[in-house]
Structure 1
Amino acid sequence: MRAYDKNPARGLVAAVAAGLLLAACGSGAGSGSGHPGGADHEASAPASPSGTPGRAHATGPFNDADVTFAQGMIPHHQQALDMARLADGRAEDADVRRLVAAIKQAQDPEIRTMRTWLTGWGRPESAGHAGHGMAGMMSEQDMKDLAAVRGRAFDRRFAELMIAHHDGAVQMARTEQREGRDEAALKLAGDVVRTQSAEISELRRILERL
Structure 2
Amino acid sequence: MATVSLGTTPGGTTPVGTTPGVNTPDSEKNDEFQEHEKILSPDFLSTAQITDLLTEDVDGIQEKLRIFLNFKNLHTHLKDAIILDYYVSGFMWAKGMDFSVTQYSKFMTLLDMLLHNLRTLHMSLEDSIKWFGEVMAEIGPRHSQKKKEWNIFDVKQANAIIDYLKISLFQHYKLYEFMFYSTREEIVIGTENKRAEQILPTREEVAQTTYTHVSKCKNVK
What is the TM-score when the length of structure 2 is the normalising length? 0.31
